[in-house]
Amino acid sequence: MMQACNLSKLARKDGAFLYKNKIEIKETRESRLFSSSIDAYVKQIPNKRILGVNRLNLRLYSLGNSLPNTWLGRTIQKKTGEAPVILDSNLIENSIKGIAGFLRTEGYFYPEIRYEVSGKIQKKTVKYIISTGAAYHIYRIEQHIADKTIDSLVQSQFEFSHIRYGNPVKFENMLKEKNRLADQLKNQGYFSFSKDFVAFDLDTGMKNFRAMLGINISNPEGFKKFNAYKLDHIYIEIDNKDFENVPSDTTHFRSFSYKPNNFPLKPQVLRRALLLEPNQTYNNTLSTISFNRLNDLQIFRSVNMTAVPKNEQTDTPSVSYVIKLQPSNKYDFTIEPQAITSDQSNLVTGSTGRNYGLASQITLTDKNVFKNAEILQLSYRVSVEAQRGFNIPSTPFFNSFESNLSASLIFPKLLFLPKLDRSWSKFTNRSQLTATFIWEQNVNWIRNVYAVGFSWQKSRPYFNQYFVPAEISYIKTDFNNNSLAEQSKNDPYLQSVFNNNLVTASRYGFVFNNQGNARKKHYTYIKWDVLELAGTLIDQAYPILGIQSDTSFNTFLGVQYFQYAKTFADIRYNRYLDENNRLASRLAIGIAIPYGNSPEYVPFDKRFFTGGANSIRAFLPRSIGPGAYNAVGNTDRSGDVRLEFNVESRFNILNHFIEGAIFTDIGNIWRIKEDGREEAVFAFNTFYKQLAVGSGLGLRLNLDFLVIRLDAAAPIIDPRKPINNRNVLSTYSNIGVLWKNTILNFGVGYPF
């Protein structure tokens, strides 16, 4: 096997191996801008680097090659191996041509490029040495547009042009300008216009690296003029398979003709979705938005929208739309069995870990409930888990149960806000009414949760906003553990957990996620609950209604209600490095401030916790915080402030089926108000000394539809220890001690 992996011997036999490519750009600024971009134009890529080991796949390929005509040899070569990359001078020359072509698209028309090859025969390095020269910049812009009307339209929006004086002559900007001009004119009635009518002239004969750029828009063949189109009529037909042999009359409205074919959908729904009107100037953007809004109703399997031009040879051409809608099934029924894992925290013993169990969820969806494209969804979920730990009986095996019944009704408009719904017609607007009942029993408590809520949602590509004007939840918790009940008599934290909780909240937030943008290799995800306010409306009603309270706090329906303000942001950035490597990072930051009717604590479900498989993985869930407080018997690991940063390098190990990760997690939680516990409160001059830090390795099985994850992490800085002993890295004297302090986390999906 060692002989088979002798790469120098193989290189002498097969030819020199390419080990590394280097890019050296003489100009400092250009090196900073273009080094990573130029890599894509190098035609020959060395063998992969996996887990920090160079050419591991090449060594496996060589090992398989040493077992000729055997199943094992063929399997090693095809499944895990990679053939050696033999240095090819023709590919080097092609790379130079590709690099020169790329630099020309960036305005560097006369670069000088050469290469050097160095190193041993099995470790050849090719260095591309590039002198870009100066970039040409736009000094003069000339427009040559045959049609005077189009010329005036282009001039009216020239401020939005991607071609600007003083900018480098970039081909990317020219392509953007082509698309912009085509979109502009199509949105101003010119249905037959396309970007192919736009061309550019470039003159680089001027001095001092200045260029003249000409923008040309020609007329159609035969010296004809472009004509603006009007919208003639809209024909909508429901392709209803259930009633295809039943005659159906066509109903005519002011803006469209509608043939429902006995499908029970009120035409007002379609009118609200369409932004098109007869005699309207043709507008391609409005057509696209109308198409998307019909799809967003979620009651059609397919939407076919065809623009049919009419009277093209006249001075008054027009466009009619034929829209075919195929309904989806009225009822959807799904059963989803699940294997689950969740964070565990035993309030009596303080032990922490993870629960494992089984669950099943049944969902029934009824579409077009009231003939206005409403969607009713009923869901029932039941789960059983095995909660384990010190002093917890091992029988019965499953000792944690949860039953969850929820219902939601979605309306395809902003209920009670008709003016806003019309003014935001270019967005996808929804209203949602929800109700939930949860029953939960474990070794600590029996809990019942009743919640109802109403929300408005406004969506567009990559950006969704939500506003919840009213959300009411009532939580009733009873002890299921005598020791815990006894302990709670002198523990304010446990008393706050087991008191009946009433939360009446309103909140606003948004989600930005451009992961679905196919043109972007990097993507960003931001979820920000900008502001959540609880108890304010009820509290203001007391003096208005003249209600007097007999206690030190106000009650609603006989229960003390909470008052707090909360904000929380989860910001993620995933950077593409190359085909086999990504760098993922996350910042989680939030604060919750109790006041008024509940000045000491926010509700248990609204507090922050840290540690565990999706947080700081070197610490068990709910095992650190608040701050550096760590008294014996402390059961309160919750906080009002959360600060956490995670960074993870993800790399391919085997055909993107097996992936690996190296990660570091930093963060903690803190109290916002003094409660007598030392180092538990957030302070700007001390919080950085109380941050927990952990690092580790991860292994992931990527099944495309599911990612199964195993992470191993060990603490580096432990805030639970005295301040001079918090750096615990030096205590890992051998692999045994390191393994003893390592936390294994099993999870489904990426941690962020």
The band of 396, judged by pLDDT with boundaries at 50, 70 and 90, is confident
Task: Look up tokens 């208005």; give the residue.
Answer: 544
For the segment 481-507, the average pLDDT, to the nearest whole number, is 79
Asked if residue 193 has pLDDT above 90, the reply is yes
Tell me, yes or no, whether 162 and 287 share the same domain. no
Q: Are residues 122 and 253 in the same domain?
A: no
> Which of 194, 223, 252 finishes a domain?
223
Residue of higher predicted confidence among 52 and 153: 153
For the cut 70, the answer to whether the pLDDT of residue 348 exceeds it is no
My answer on whether 272 and 321 are in the same domain is yes
Question: Do 359 and 450 reside in the same domain of the chain?
Answer: yes
Torsion, Cα of 697, 702, 708, 714 (10° steps): 10
The verdict on residue 29 lying in a domain is: yes
Instruction: Please give the DSSP secondary-structure letter assigned to residue 246.
Output: S
The residue ranking higher by pLDDT, 79 or 295, is: 295
Q: Return the CATH number at 238.
A: 3.10.20.310
Residue 149: its pLDDT value, please? 93
pLDDT of residue 7: 66
Q: What percent of the chain has pLDDT over 90?
A: 59
The residue-averaged pLDDT of 280-290 equals: 94
Pair 399, 392: CB distance under 8 Å: yes
Residue 2 has pLDDT above 50, yes or no: no
Higher pLDDT, 241 or 700: 700
Give me the residue label for tokens 């809004």: 293
Q: Which strand (E) or helix (H) includes residue 296?
A: helix 284-296
Last residue of a domain, one of 457, 490, 523: 490
Residue 132 corresponds to which tokens in the numbers above?
Answer: 């870009």
Per-residue pLDDT tens over the stretch 225-237: 889 999 999 999 9
What is the rounded CA–CA span in Å between residue 746 and residue 356?
10
Q: What are residue 180's phi and psi, to 5 degrees?
A: -65, -45
Same structural domain for residues 217 and 322?
no
493 has a pLDDT exceeding 80: no
Within a domain: 315: yes
Q: What is the mean pLDDT of residues 128-135?
A: 94
Shared-domain flag, residues 260 and 282: yes
Q: Looking at the structure, do residues 352 and 447 belong to the same domain, yes or no?
A: yes
Inform me whether the pLDDT recorded for 391 exceeds 90. no
What is the predicted pLDDT for the residue at 53? 52
Asked if the model's pLDDT at residue 349 lies above 50, the reply is no
Residue 595 scores a pLDDT above 70: yes
Count, residues in the chain: 752
Could you list the beta-strand ranges (E) of 442-521: 445-460, 463-479, 501-513
Residue 161: both structure tokens together:
């042009």
- Same-domain pairing of 287 and 404: no
Domain limits for position 446: 329-381+398-490
Q: Which of 45-59, 471-485, 636-650 has the highest mean pLDDT?
A: 636-650
| Cα distance between residue 39 and residue 539, in whole Å | 62
- When comparing pLDDT for 375 and 445, which is higher? 375
pLDDT at 647 (0 to 100): 97
Please tell me whether the overall predicted TM-score, pTM, comes out greater than 0.95 for this model.
no
Residue 3: what pLDDT?
43
Average pLDDT, integer, range 520-542: 89
Is 542 among the domain residues?
no
Q: In the predicted model, is pLDDT for residue 68 greater than 80?
A: no
DSSP state of 600: S
Q: Where are the beta strands (DSSP E) in 30-100?
A: 49-50, 53-54
What domain count does the chain have?
4
Quick one: pLDDT at residue 546? 66
What pLDDT shows up at residue 220? 84
pLDDT at residue number 254: 78
State how far the alpha carbon of 408 is from the alpha carbons of 341, 411, 414, 453, in Å: 26, 10, 15, 9
| Residue 234 is assigned to a structural domain of this protein | yes
pLDDT at 67: 66
- pLDDT of amino acid 548: 63
Name the residue with higher pLDDT: 36 or 693: 693
Among the three residues 490, 509, 539, which one is the final residue of a domain in this structure? 490
Mean pLDDT over the full length of the chain: 87
pLDDT at 669 over 70: yes
Is 569 domain-assigned?
A: no
Region of poorest pLDDT, from 414-418, 503-507, 635-639: 635-639
Mean pLDDT, residues 621-631: 89
Is residue 577 included in any domain, yes or no?
no
Q: Is the pLDDT of residue 472 over 80?
A: yes
Tokens of 379: 């869901």
pLDDT at 580 over 90: no
* Domain shared by 13 and 119, yes or no: yes
**Bigger pLDDT: 177 vs 346:** 177
Q: With 80 as the cut, is the pLDDT of residue 41 above it?
A: yes
Helix-then-strand count for the chain, H and E: 14, 31
One domain for residues 365 and 464: yes
538 assigned to some structural domain: no
Instruction: Give the mean pLDDT of 419-436.
Output: 91
If asked whether residues 438 and 377 sit together in one domain, one would say yes
Say if residue 483 is in the same domain as residue 338. Answer: yes
In a domain, 91, yes or no: yes
Structure tokens at 377: 């969804």
